[in-house]
Structure formats: C-alpha cells, structure tokens
A and B are shown apart, each in its own frame.
Chain A
C-alpha cells in the first residue's frame, strides 16, 4: 500500500474498570483524534471492532464522541476483530474511498474462560469447547516437534512481563520468575495460569489518513501503514472451534504474513519490532516460525538467544504482549498498532527499541482468521 498513513493513535489502558465499554471506546477515540489533531467532523468513515457488547456498538461509542453522520461499520472477527477493522480502513483509503478513517477497538470481556467461541453444543456439553485446551494442544505439539520445553514456555511469560513493567497501558506490570510461572495453577497441561493471557477490558484506536490528506495538512513525517494481510481458514488450517484437524496442517499466520510483507515490499529480516498474538506462551513461539523470524524448529533457540527480548535483534512484544496487557478481544490488534507506532516515533521511554523503523503486528482469532500489518517510517 502506498497511500495509507497513521495520522494518530489512541488507547485506554487494558485492565478492569468501573465504566462501560462505550466510555472505554470514547476515551480511546478522543485520545486518537487528539493525537492526530483531527476534529471528529473531519472523519469520513468509522470502523469499530468489538466481540461481545451489544447491537450497534460502534454507533453507541461514536454517539458519545460526536454525531458526525458518516458511515459507522461494526467489525467482529474474534481476536482478529480490530486487525480486521484496520484492514478495512486501509483498503478503503488505498482504493480512494475515503481520506480519513477512524478505527476503534473496544472490549469489556468477563473474567475467566471465554464463552461463545463458536463451538457446537456437543462440544460445550462434553467439555470440549474450551479455548485454552486448544492452546494446550498446540503447545504440546510444539514441544513434541521441537526442542521447546516447559521452561521455554515460562520464559516467554517472564520476558513479556519484564517488558510490561514500564508500560502504563498494561494490566500486569510486576516481573515474574520462571519458577513462579511454572508453579502457577495448571489450567490445561502444559499451560499454567501465567502462560495464558487474561481476557479483560480496554480500547485502542488508530486514525488512518490518505497521502493526499496528509499532504494537505502538511504532515510529512507520519508512520505509514504499508502492508496488511487478512486471511481466513483454508483446508489445512486448524484452530478454535474446529473439532478435528489434518495430520499435517499449515499455518494461517504464515499466509497473512506473506500477504502483508509482500504488500509492504518488506523482507521479514528488515522488521525491527514485532507485536504478536501471545494468547499463550506457546502461541508466541509458534508465531516466531510462522512469521519467518526463525526456521521451524528454531523457536526455542531464538528465544534463548535473547533476540526477542528488548535489546535483542528482533524484540517481540515489548509492550508486554497480551500475557501482560491482558486481552480485550476487540481492541488487542489496535493496541499492538498503538505500541508499534509509538515505537517508530521513538516515544516508548525505557522500553524503546532503538532506531526502530519497521514494525509488524499479528493477531489471530477463532473462526479462524489472522491479520498481519506492517508499519514503517
């Protein structure tokens, strides 16, 4: 994509709050508009990502911001909802259909296991409609097919929690030790509580702007949204809620990454900072190979080398990831974009990736779908 720029980003911290989802969304939208220096009435089009709120949620969020009368479209794609909203906004601008698009992601998810993930009644009745059970199956297969150990899974959580210490938008900002992660409550073997992200509440927003609009405003140093790949389940992919999978399956994330990197004309080796879907610790390791950060089988080596830790060659989840921020389903992808854009602007303080010029965000959700985006200076 040549013509899509990030005019501004906004966020409401992720956590637990005594306010409605509408207020969370309003907060992020206002934060974003303020960051962009754009008035609500200048927005051409709004996409609002959310999974579990109510009908016309985006309309109810925007009603609190301003009644601007433009199209508002609600987007739901499980954990890839806000990635999908951003994808739509970017494609609309690239196709010449709008100059300024506001994308908002918002969620107020209840505590505990996520219900209504698309399972059939027989799966739910018989205890097979359980998201972390799916993550555990992936984790077990990763351990069986590579040299990844339970200690490596713990170390992903240790790394991301350490990254989150200085992120005011993260829910869990205390460091944890490998022993504490391994010793936390076992949920679905081999995954313990601290290897799993917590569904929670929060909101994030991104204002996209066409090249023409940026030029008219004299904005010459914006981060560019250069690539976006959104894919859904193919014959050889498997994830929540499918009850079976082919003995040999392929990666949905890999396809999304290929589309996004090709779109951006960027090689994965040129990416400086990655935010990926660490729904659980194993998912981050699986994403290493799927995104092309390492070859399949080298996930543990990459982690152990420190390459994916802040200060390493290719830091992953310097925001703390979902393991530390928590996961407000409809907002997680735009939360990643918020972090990546601030990294590219050099505004991340102690967790700044020095000289970051290219960022990659990755979300994956039930259904099954995945969105990868590339931003660069």
Chain B
C-alpha cells in the first residue's frame, strides 16, 4: 500500500529578506519530467515520484494584467498588477509583480511584502 508523504514543508518559495531574489519551490517528475508549482510529491500526470526543483529564473513575463477593484478576501490593496512568468522549465506561474514591469520583460522571483505582515513571491524585472 502506498503511504502518502507530506508535501515537504508546504513552502511556496525559499525564504529570504523582503526584496531579495528567491526561488519558487516547484517539483519535477522523476519519470516524465513534468514540472509542477506548487510542489507535488506524486506527479499529477503519471503518478510517479517527484523531486524538488527550484525555479529561480530568469523567466519571461508572458502576460501582464491587473486587478483594479478589491476582490473578496484579498489583503492586497487594489489596484495592483499581476503577471505570468514563463520559466525555461516549461511552466508558467501567476504572481504579483514588484516594481515597474512590461510584458516581455525578463524577470526573477523576489520576496515581496504586498501588505503589512504579508510575504509572498513576486516577479521583478532584471535590469
């Protein structure tokens, strides 16, 4: 019988000081190579075991949009921008952006504080 192991510590990104670059805690399937974020223990495509994979970028900001009215439950004050970063590992991750960015920019994940006491990854342009 298969015993399910817990998903590492459940972290979305490697902890660092606010504003520092970070890595997203993804996983890669040992069998089919599929990369998943957030990290998975077993591959949702083929069921094989996954190993941790860190997504550090650089990535391409594939989509840039924004949320202009406050959505239910959000602690981030609206309006704010949202981007999709496409990593070389073949995965696109939705996240907040840190600082001015444009679609097509090269970005890296950084630790971001979008509201008092909050801490999350965001995408920042690489100059």
Contacts and interface: CB of A to CB of B under 8 A. Distances in A.
A140 B71 contact: no
Interface size class of A (residues with CB under 8 A): 20 to 34
A367 B74 CA distance: 20
B120 A137 contact: no
A268 interface: no
B76 interface: yes
Contact of A126 (B75, B84, B86): B75
B87 to A, nearest CB: 8
A303 to B, nearest CB: 22
A246 interface: yes
Given A243-B94, A244-B36, A247-B91, A188 B120 contact: no
Q: Name the interface size band of chain B.
A: 35 or more
Given A127-B78, A127-B82, A129-B71, A140 B63 contact: yes
Given A126-B74, A126-B114, A244 B82 contact: no
Contacts of A265: none
A245 B103 CA distance: 18
B1 interface: no
A130 B67 contact: yes
A133 B114 CA distance: 17
B19 interface: no
A107 B64 CA distance: 33
A130 B72 CA distance: 8
A113 interface: yes
Given A115-B73, A125-B74, A187-B69, A141 B34 contact: no
B97 to A, nearest CB: 11
A285 B64 CA distance: 20
B38 A243 contact: yes
Contact of B74 (A124, A144, A185): A124
A366 to B, nearest CB: 15
Interface of A: 112-113, 115, 122, 124-130, 132-133, 136-137, 140-141, 144, 185-190, 235, 243-248
Interface of B: 12, 34, 36-38, 44-45, 62-69, 71-76, 78, 80, 82, 84, 86, 90-96, 103, 114, 118, 120
